[in-house]
């Protein structure tokens, strides 16, 4: 049985947050990392200080190591800090330190000098209460560099279904969904991996529910394109959603990967 996460703690020099389950697998974050090194790579290239935080990397540091390798291809002088609230996990990771990759104990307060251009927190907030999310977002946003990005996401155990919210220092910007073709019958099945701010909102009357239902309708209507492969069918779905007025971002180069990003205004919970 998985113990429910406690409320966010902090103060007196203690890290802000709670120990998570720590479940992780190599290559689990490939889809979000591909997005970071794709349409968001400009942030890293333009950064005066290429500081990046992998927050809550889990029981093993594999995804932090992978993140450093992938980002170094974009910005060779990138500095990635893997942050974990559990000291034993940090001790286990220390032998993997190398130039540009370090590990330390901490939480949402981000115990690093400087302002990160990227903070990735995957499968972390999922284990908190929905009421805690806004405060955690503000805390991390307050530490970002001027063009920085905070990514709050969730994925399945091997990274076939992934969803994340991207935020700058002021507001949420977008929701991205990325799936492996052949792993779903309907796109809305990714709903089980929605970030904490949205997962309980997938009910009639909520914007994110309406968007997921629109995805399903467009996917079904584009079934004839399946004769040319699922990539063509997914691209047709994205085009149909955009034509229907949904603020779908990017274009075919991203869509063919099984990825879709929509403006936050389309899925944000009512105030």
Q: How do residues 231-265 score in pLDDT, each as one tens digit?
A: 999 999 999 999 999 999 999 999 999 999 999 99
What pLDDT, on the 0 to 100 scale, is given for residue 13? 67
Q: What is the pLDDT of residues 84-93, one digit of tens each?
A: 999 999 999 9
Rounded (10°) angle between helices 230-243 and 207-221? 130
Residue 48 confidence (pLDDT) above 70? yes
Starting at the earlier edge strand, list the strands of the sheet with 161-167.
101-105, 79-84, 51-55, 118-122, 149-155, 161-167, 172-179, 259-263
Are the beta carbons of 85 and 17 closer than 8 angstroms?
yes
Confidence of residue 9 (pLDDT cuts 50, 70, 90): low
pLDDT score, position 6: 44
Q: Which of 11-25, 68-82, 212-226 has the lowest mean pLDDT?
A: 11-25
Cα–Cα distance measured from residue 32 to residue 197, given in angstroms and rounded to the nearest whole number: 18
pLDDT more than 70, % of the chain: 95
User: pLDDT tens, 32-45?
Assistant: 999 999 999 999 99
pLDDT over 90, % of the chain: 89
What local confidence, expressed as pLDDT, does residue 5 receive?
41
Q: Which CATH number fits domain 30-197: 3.90.1150.10, 1.10.357.10, 3.40.50.300, 3.40.50.150?
A: 3.40.50.150
3-state secondary structure of 132: helix
pLDDT of 4 over the 90 cut: no
pLDDT of residue 10: 52
Question: How crowded is residue 27: how many other Cβ atoms within 10 Å of its Cβ?
Answer: 12
pLDDT at 7: 44
For the chain, which residues make up each domain, given as ranges?
30-197
Instruction: List, for residues 158-206, the tens digit of each pLDDT value.
Output: 999 999 999 999 999 999 999 999 999 999 999 999 999 999 999 999 9
Distance CA 216, CA 237 (A): 9
What secondary structure letter does DSSP report for 55? E
**What number is the average pLDDT over the span 35-62?**
96
Give the pLDDT of residue 1. Answer: 24
Residue 25's pLDDT is what? 79
Model confidence at 271, pLDDT cuts 50, 70, 90, reads confident
Is the whole-model pTM more than 0.85?
Answer: yes
For residue 190, what are the contacts with CB-CB under 8 A and spacing of at least 6?
161, 162, 163, 177, 179, 184, 212
Predicted confidence at residue 52, as pLDDT, reads 98
């Amino acid at each position: 049985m998985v113990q429910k996460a406690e409320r966010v703690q902090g103060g007196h020099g203690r890290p802000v947050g709670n120990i998570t389950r720590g479940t992780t697998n190599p290559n689990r974050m490939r889809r979000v990392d591909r997005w970071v090194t794709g349409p968001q790579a400009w942030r890293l290239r333009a950064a005066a200080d290429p500081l990046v935080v992998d927050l809550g990397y889990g029981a093993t540091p594999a995804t932090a190591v992978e993140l450093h390798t992938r980002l170094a291809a974009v910005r060779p002088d990138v500095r990635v800090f893997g942050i974990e609230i559990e000291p034993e996990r940090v001790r286990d990771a220390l032998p993997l330190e190398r130039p540009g990759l370090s590990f330390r104990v901490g939480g949402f307060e981000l115990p690093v000098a400087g302002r990160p251009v990227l903070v990735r927190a995957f499968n972390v907030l999922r284990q908190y209460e929905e009421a805690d999310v806004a405060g955690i977002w503000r805390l991390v946003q307050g530490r970002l560099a001027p063009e920085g990005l905070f990514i709050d996401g969730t994925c399945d155990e091997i990274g076939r279904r992934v969803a994340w919210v991207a935020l700058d220092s002021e507001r949420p910007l977008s929701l991205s969904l990325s799936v492996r073709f052949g792993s779903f019958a309907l796109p809305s099945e990714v709903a089980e991996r929605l970030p904490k701010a949205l997962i309980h909102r997938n009910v009639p009357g909520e914007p994110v529910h309406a968007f997921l239902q629109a995805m399903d309708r467009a996917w079904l209507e584009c079934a004839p394109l399946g004769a040319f492969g699922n990539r063509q069918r997914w691209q047709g779905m994205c085009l149909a959603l955009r034509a229907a007025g949904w603020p779908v971002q990017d274009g075919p180069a991203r869509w063919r990967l099984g990825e879709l990003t929509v403006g936050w205004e389309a899925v944000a919970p009512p105030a």
